[in-house]
Structures are given as structure tokens and as C-alpha cells.
Amino acid sequence: MKILTFLLLLISCPVSAEKISLDDLSAYMNGIITVESTFTQINENGSSSTGKMHLKRPGRIRFDYDPPNMGIVVVGGGQVAVFDPKSDNEPFRFPLRHTPLNIILEETVDFKKRNMVLEHVSDGPSTVLSLQDPSKAEYGYIKLFFTNNPIQLRQWVVDNNSGNRSIVVVEGWSEGQDVPDILFNIGAETMKQSR
């Protein structure tokens, strides 16, 4: 609960200091090809989960949740698939463009385009950037937290405008790893889960 309280204070605190420019943040995101990291997800109700994340730009990210959750979220081929190990049903699917994560997984990230920026501030050691696609405002927004020196994405908040808000904090961020494409293949993961 302490980490949740700290993160909520960090998210809501007023900030004013030198911030990383939108051009530099866009260039940083465009420079990311692959990432492996661990993550902690904190949900609206205060519950939390941990796991491992793989990212491969453009358009692909995967979250493997640790026990007892054991869920998997696979984003690939323009789709998001949520695998529930407690269910015999097919994964729940929806288009990536229906989530704010799409903004940072696009082939070319340009935070200045389409009037997406809701907030762009700094608290000194980090820059906070809140984004919403104005053509898809009904799908919510994403708030990104970057360290300033060096620039690194450390956490994000996704609010999908339906009462679901989650915080993802990443640790052990490692770029440039060989991340196999099969990790983001929803069909292959569906077959694997059905065995």
C-alpha cells in the first residue's frame, strides 16, 4: 500500500522545473526497438501484480504475470488479447487502437502531432507527459513518467475512461535484447494455452 500511496502522490503533485522537450521524448521512444523488464501493476482498487514485460516496437508488447495471477496480455497484429488461465474460453480481444498504449507503440512516435498533449511538466528528476488521441478520446489517456538524465521511461498510468485505471512501474529496463516475434503472436499463444 505504501508504493500505491507514493505513486498516487507523485501522479497528483504539482510540478514545475526544466522538462524534456517533446522532440527529445519522441526521439527517445522512436529509438526503442526492444525492451525486457520486470513490472509492478497497481490497479484502481489497490491490488497489485508483478511480472515480466517484453516490448518490440512498433506495435508489440507482452505482459506475463507472476503467480498467483498467471495471466498473459499479448499485443500484436493490431490486437490486444487477454489470456485468463482460470478460463477455458478464448482470450478476450480488442483492437490496439482502442487503448492509449497505441500512442507509444505506433511506428513513428511524434508527441507534437494531432494535439495529443494534455500535460507536459517536470518535477526536477523526471518529466511527466499525459497524452490522449483527440480522435479517440473515448478510449482514455496515458500518462508517462520519464527520468531526465538519462531519459528512460519508468512508469505509466492508463485510464480507459470506464473506471479502470492502472499504474505500471517498470524495473530492470534493458534495451536491445533479442526478443522473438513469437511472443507477440496471439494465434500461437492461443494454441499454446489450449494444450
Residue range 77-101, pLDDT digits in tens: 999 999 998 887 889 999 999 988 9
pLDDT of residue 114 exceeding 80: no
Q: What is the pLDDT of residue 141?
A: 92
Q: What is the pLDDT of residue 17?
A: 59
Is the pTM of the predicted complex or chain greater than 0.95?
A: no
| Rounded Cα gap, residues 2 and 7, in angstroms | 9
Asked whether the beta carbons of 123 and 129 are under 8 A apart, the reply is no
Mean pLDDT, all residues of the chain: 87
| Rounded Cα gap, residues 107 and 1, in angstroms | 36
* Whole-number percent of the chain with pLDDT over 90: 63
Sheet holding 117-122, edge to edge: 92-95, 79-83, 72-76, 60-65, 48-56, 34-43, 165-175, 151-159, 141-148, 126-131, 117-122
pLDDT of residue 7 exceeding 70: no
For 66, which DSSP code?
P
Kindly report the number of other CB atoms within 10 A of residue 109's CB atom: 20
Q: What domains are there in the chain, each with its CATH number? A: 2-9+18-194 (2.50.20.10)
Task: Give the pLDDT band (50/70/90) at residue 37.
Answer: very high
Length of the chain: 195
Q: What is the pLDDT of residue 88?
A: 77
pLDDT of residue 6 exceeding 60: no
| Rounded Cα gap, residues 6 and 180, in angstroms | 35
pLDDT of residue 169 exceeding 60: yes
Task: Give the pLDDT band (50/70/90) at residue 10.
Answer: very low
pLDDT of residue 72 exceeding 70: yes
Kindly report the number of other CB atoms within 10 A of residue 14's CB atom: 6
| Rounded Cα gap, residues 182 and 169, in angstroms | 25
